[in-house]
Each structure stands twice: as structure tokens, then as C-alpha cells.
Amino acid sequence: MAQNNFNGPIPKELGNLKKLYLLSLGNNNLSGTLPPELGNLVELGEL
């Protein structure tokens, strides 16, 4: 999801991607805090 010019908050729905290992959000205009739903990403190895 990096380098897409996304703006606004990080979507809480990303927490539904249970098998996600890498979440790259760089080079966007995201704002706010990390949603607590990201705690559901038990396979996440890199943020």
C-alpha cells in the first residue's frame, strides 16, 4: 500500500487480514493513530 498517495486515517479493516506478514504504508498522507484492530494481525512480521 506504499506510495499510493492515500490520505486520512489507517483503515481499521486492515485488522481483518489475519495472514498479513508485511504492511508497508510509507509515502502516503495517512493521519491519526494505529487502529487497535491491527493487534489482530498475529502473523505481522514487518510494519
**pLDDT, tens digit, for every residue of 3-47?**
898 999 999 999 999 999 999 999 999 999 999 999 999 999 998
Q: pLDDT value at position 6?
A: 92
In a domain, 33, yes or no: yes
Q: Is pLDDT at 1 greater than 90 in this prediction?
A: no
Q: How many domains does the chain have?
A: 1
Residue 2 lies inside a defined structural domain of this protein:
no
Contact 11, 37 (CB under 8 A): no
C-alpha–C-alpha distance, residues 7 and 10, integer Å:
8
46 within a domain of the structure (yes/no): no
> Is residue 1 in some structural domain?
no
Provide the residue range defining the domain that includes 33.
7-40
